[in-house]
């Protein structure tokens, strides 16, 4: 009974430790870093979309004519480019991403983009297109009917267009034909973790967390790379799984992101602001112009004498100043309290953005200001 109570107590302590780590914002190493060598690879190819209802490339697109000619010749038809007058084909660039560890026969999503003067790819079918990697080797084949999320209609010099009709998508339209060997184990048997957001503090915390949780030999090369040497006799897959499940509290940089076009402001609520006094006001200027006609006396006017009708503009200027908003913060105020107080003063989001830009220049805002 005493042994059972001891086990229960230890289990509760471990549960509480995990709960505290989760409550403090601890996340998995898997979400903070990736294993070096495990990555996607970009594929690209040149192809032809056929079956268009007269919305394909015109005869001015020589590349399309030559591609159609070559395609027909592969089926035993000998033609000249002058014999091709159809607008039912379009030259396109086909792109796809080959995931890590993809095997022959796996399916890929394919994106198709027109490179000629085609008006729309709606209703088209992509002819079999080889997709090559950076080494110029074929890793996949793409083919299928396009899904186009737009349209373009023309009639009597009038046009109606929605989205981009010259870009298409083929779900699962690519088939993997060759496997890419992913080398993620170094020559000395170590594994390298690449941080998604390099930071010296986060890298040091990953080293400490992995050393305690796994007992592996862990070293930080720099702010964006951590090298781990698993125990001898342990499989690589088990080592990576153990590493990725370890939890770390990442260091979050103090940033304030603002978008002046949309009036959006996003930041951490605990960013501190020094003691500052903010005075904000605005002036509205109104200009009203009226036009008056000066007509000389008499029905008949001799233009040779210089007498003529004159239009004279008259402008009235008016200025109104809104009530000035005044705010004074104490030392240690965070940005959440500042924005809340400025909102109570009925300031718009754009006014708050202008104030934050002025705070950054004055040195009172202790965070990086990112303007989009």
Residue 237 maps to which CATH number?
Answer: 3.30.70
Q: Which two tokens stand for residue 148?
A: 């186009």
10 Å CB burial of residue 55 (0-12, 13-18, 19+) is: buried
Same structural domain, 170 and 191: no
* Helix residue ranges per DSSP H, the chain: 2-23, 29-32, 62-73, 200-214, 236-245, 335-344, 349-362
Identify whether 344 is part of a domain.
yes
Same structural domain, 142 and 68: yes
Phi then psi dihedrals of residue 214, to 5 deg: -115, -25
Residue 156: pLDDT over 60: no
Residues 113-122 pLDDT 10s: 999 888 889 8
Across 24-38, 101-115, 355-369, least confident range: 355-369
Same structural domain, 325 and 357: yes
The average pLDDT across 347-364 equals 79
Identify whether 97 is part of a domain.
yes
Same structural domain, 195 and 142: no
Same structural domain, 210 and 163: no
Is the C-alpha dihedral spanning 153, 158, 161, 166 positive or negative? positive
Identify whether 345 is part of a domain.
yes
Residues 15-61 pLDDT 10s: 444 444 444 578 999 999 999 999 999 999 999 999 998 888 888 88
Decide which of 125, 143, 176 is a domain's last residue: 176
Same structural domain, 169 and 221: no
Identify whether 18 is part of a domain.
no
Domain range for 66: 41-176
Identify whether 11 is part of a domain.
no
Residue 310: pLDDT over 70: no
Q: What are residue 249's DSSP bridge partners?
A: none
Identify whether 22 is part of a domain.
no
Same structural domain, 220 and 325: no
Identify whether 50 is part of a domain.
yes
Same structural domain, 264 and 205: no
Helical pair 236-245 and 200-214, crossing angle rounded to 10 deg: 120
Same structural domain, 290 and 197: no
The average pLDDT across 261-266 equals 75
Residue 174: pLDDT over 60: yes
10 Å CB burial of residue 187 (0-12, 13-18, 19+) is: exposed
Identify whether 16 is part of a domain.
no
Q: How many domains does the chain have?
A: 3
Residue 107: pLDDT over 90: yes
| Helix-then-strand count for the chain, H and E | 7, 23
Which pTM value belongs to this model? Answer: 0.67
Decide which of 117, 141, 176 is a domain's last residue: 176
Same structural domain, 231 and 328: no
Same structural domain, 72 and 171: yes
pLDDT at 66: 86
What CA–CA distance (Å, rounded) separates 243 from 241? 5
Decide which of 127, 147, 176 is a domain's last residue: 176
How sure is the predictor about 133, in pLDDT bands with cuts at 50, 70 and 90?
A: very high
Same structural domain, 166 and 60: yes
What CA–CA distance (Å, rounded) separates 269 from 266? 9
Residue 303: pLDDT over 60: no
């Amino acid at each position: 009974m005493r042994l059972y109570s001891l086990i229960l107590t230890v289990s509760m302590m471990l549960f509480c430790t995990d709960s505290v780590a989760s409550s403090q914002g601890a996340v998995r190493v898997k979400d903070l870093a990736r294993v070096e060598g495990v990555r996607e690879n970009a594929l690209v190819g040149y192809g032809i979309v056929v079956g268009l209802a007269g919305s394909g490339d015109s005869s001015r697109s020589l590349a399309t004519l030559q591609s159609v000619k070559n395609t027909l010749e592969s089926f035993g038809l000998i033609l000249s480019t002058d014999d091709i007058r159809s607008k039912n084909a379009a030259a396109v660039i086909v792109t796809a991403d080959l995931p890590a560890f993809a095997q022959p026969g796996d399916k890929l999503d394919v994106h198709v983009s027109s490179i000629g003067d085609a008006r729309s790819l709606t209703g088209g079918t992509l002819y079999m297109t080889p997709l090559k990697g950076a080494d110029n080797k074929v890793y996949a084949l793409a083919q299928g009917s396009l899904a186009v999320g737009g349209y373009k209609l023309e009639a009597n010099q009038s046009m109606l267009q929605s989205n981009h009709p010259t870009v298409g998508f083929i779900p699962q339209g690519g088939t993997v034909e060759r496997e890419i060997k992913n080398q993620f184990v170094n020559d000395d048997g170590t594994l390298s973790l690449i941080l998604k957001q390099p930071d010296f503090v986060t890298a040091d915390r990953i080293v400490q967390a992995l050393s305690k949780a796994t007992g592996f030999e862990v070293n930080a090369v720099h702010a964006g790379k951590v090298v781990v040497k698993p125990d001898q006799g342990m499989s690589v897959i088990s080592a990576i799984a153990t590493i990725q499940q370890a939890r770390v509290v990442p260091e979050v940089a103090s940033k304030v992101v603002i978008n002046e076009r949309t009036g959006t402001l996003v930041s951490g609520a605990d960013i501190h602001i020094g003691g500052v006094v903010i005075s904000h006001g605005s002036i509205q200027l109104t200009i009203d112009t009226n036009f008056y006609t000066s007509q000389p006396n008499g029905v008949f006017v001799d233009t040779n004498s210089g007498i003529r009708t004159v239009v004279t503009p008259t402008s009235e200027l008016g200025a109104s100043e809104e009530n000035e908003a005044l705010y004074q913060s104490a030392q240690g105020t965070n940005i959440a309290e500042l924005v809340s107080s400025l909102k109570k003063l009925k300031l718009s989001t754009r006014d708050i953005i202008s104030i934050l830009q002025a705070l950054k220049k004055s040195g009172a805002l202790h965070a990086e200001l990112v303007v989009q």
